[in-house]
Structure 1
Amino acid sequence: MVVWRQYLVPEAQAAKVTYGKQNTKKYIVIHETDNEKSGADADAYARLQFNGMHREASWHLTVDDKEAVQSFEFNYACGGAGSAKGNLQGIQITICVNSDGDYSQAVHNAAEVVARIMRDESIPIENVVQHYYFSGKNCPRKMREGQANWLQFLAYIKNAPIGTVRKRKIPTDIERYHVVTGTYETRQAAENVHDVFKYRFGWGVHMEQISDKWRLKTALFTSKAEAKAAEKKIKAAQLSEVTDVIAE
């Protein structure tokens, strides 16, 4: 069962990276992240968009082997297709290729999500296209290179059990949560981890000096479950042996 949740980019940020609410939604455009680094999953890319990426780019949904995370409502014209037509008429879907994920499962999950969007937006299968269709870019690269067959992907969409796509409500916890690391001996060591948090995991992050050492504190997560998942990711990547989840 694919979980589809929203982590919508604030309107002020959306105005900088989209063409506004003028998407005619005639196409569904398939992309891949082309980023095989561990941790570069759907949550990380959604947070990158939410916190403001270092480049002007945008897409509606990111899908990995566990979930689909929506960054923009579909009426926004996102700047991901590489052409005005693709941007103004396309719903942009990006599939993760992170090395610690299951690419094949991510492709299947994307097919189920696309099938749901086709039904909801009355988009025909003929209008499900690759990023290449609008720009000539070799994207989705893995799929174009045969690691997942495009025709088979379209077959997955046609046969997808739409009812298994489960939209999850945005958490309504009153409290929000930070993850705090242990201390680092030098500022440079803390900065190295800071960059992983920010650019690979997509988290907002703050550096704090504690006496002659340094530690990191993430921006707020919207639920304790999300903060715990982030804590687990930090330890799996061996970025800090000590972590703590703190409510605020």
Structure 2
Amino acid sequence: MVVIRKKLVPDVQANKVSYGKGNAKKYIVVHETDNTRSGADADAHARLQYDGNSRDASWHYTVDDKEAAQSFEHAWRCWAAGSNTGNNQGIQVEVCVNGDGNYQKAMQNAAELVVKIMKDENIPINNVVQHNHFSGKNCPRNMREGKISWSQFITMVKNASGNVQQPKPSIDNNKYRVLTGTYGTKQDAENAQDVLKHRFGWVAYIEPDGSKWRVKTGTFTGMAAAQAGANKIKTAKLAQVTNIVAE
């Protein structure tokens, strides 16, 4: 998945080059920077926006062959699409065409970024559009000229969507015990132990703690199970304080 790095434009500057917040987030609008100079990568364009773009223009992301740099949160209505609808309802993605970059890789990264935005904002693929869709401008120019056609790019988006996998939940196989707070007498500790053993069906031990006593459970596998055990002890009002310790 493409690396996304945030370099968010400060609000004072953002308000100068946008319509403010309130983006309806219905479209993802794909552009190209049209800047072929060496070094005109995502970082350079992100720094341009952060430092105060002299043009009356703004966009949410710039993507190159190495990363995607985010300049605005999605709520901002950036000036990029050339129409009120495109600006007020679109998340703007600029793809770099710098001469020292890999255009094919930049487009692959852009496709992966588009997939993430689609998932985050629940935007359908039919609402992934070119800049041209809103203003008629010949943008993204290289795509429109067939260097990578629009249909090929949409296929890249579909393929990237199929390849994005949800991370598997980590499995905690560590062992933990729950210790109660201290009881003033051994009889109080034995009463609590009796509930744990006979009502809950747990293994439980009594341990001295100075002149007082506490109860320690058998082992639980995973922190979630141990936390549930500690909560059950508190709910049953067997102890006001519990501690979870690793084995």
Return 5+ residue gaps in structure 2 as ranges.
167-247
- Where do residues 11-50 of structure 1 align in structure 2 (5 Å cutoff)? 11-50=11-50
Q: 1:31 is aligned with what amino acid? A: H
Aligned to 1:82: 82
The alpha-carbon deviation at position 148 of structure 1 amounts to: 0.6
Aligned to 1:94: 94
SS of corresponding position for 1:147: coil
SS of corresponding position for 2:5: strand
Aligned to 2:139: 139
The alpha-carbon deviation at position 162 of structure 1 amounts to: 3.1
Q: 2:138 is aligned with what amino acid? A: N
- TM-superposition CA deviations, 1:91-132 (whole Å, max 9, x none): 000000000000010000000000011011000000000000
Q: 2:146 is aligned with what amino acid? A: G
Aligned to 1:162: 164
Return 5+ residue gaps in structure 1 as ranges.
165-248
- TM-superposition CA deviations, 1:161-217 (whole Å, max 9, x none): 3359xxxxxxxxxxxxxxxxxxxxxxxxxxxxxxxxxxxxxxxxxxxxxxxxxxxxx
Q: 1:97 is aligned with what amino acid? A: V
The alpha-carbon deviation at position 2 of structure 1 amounts to: 1.4
Larger RCO: 1 or 2 (CA < 8 Å, sep 6+): 1
- TM-superposition CA deviations, 1:207-239 (whole Å, max 9, x none): xxxxxxxxxxxxxxxxxxxxxxxxxxxxxxxxx
Question: In 1, Cα distance between the equivalents of 2:11 and 2:39?
Answer: 27
- Where do residues 1-248 of structure 1 align in structure 2 (5 Å cutoff)? 1-160=1-160, 161-163=163-165
SS of corresponding position for 2:19: coil
The alpha-carbon deviation at position 138 of structure 1 amounts to: 0.1
Q: 1:104 is aligned with what amino acid? A: Q
Higher Rg of the two aligned structures: 2
Question: In 2, Cα distance between the equivalents of 1:155 and 1:120?
Answer: 20
Structure 1's 163 and 6: CA in aligned 2 closer, same or farther, altered over 3 A?
farther
SS of corresponding position for 1:39: coil
Tell me which stretches of 4 or more aligned residues in structure 1 moved more than 6 Å.
Answer: none
Structure 1's 132 and 51: CA in aligned 2 closer, same or farther, altered over 3 A?
same
Q: 1:117 is aligned with what amino acid? A: I
Number of paired residues? 164
The alpha-carbon deviation at position 43 of structure 1 amounts to: 0.1
The alpha-carbon deviation at position 22 of structure 1 amounts to: 1.2
The alpha-carbon deviation at position 72 of structure 1 amounts to: 0.2
Name the TM-score, length of structure 2 as normaliser.
Answer: 0.65
CA RMSD of the aligned region, Å? 1.0
Question: In 1, Cα distance between the equivalents of 2:147 and 2:103?
Answer: 9
Identity %: 64
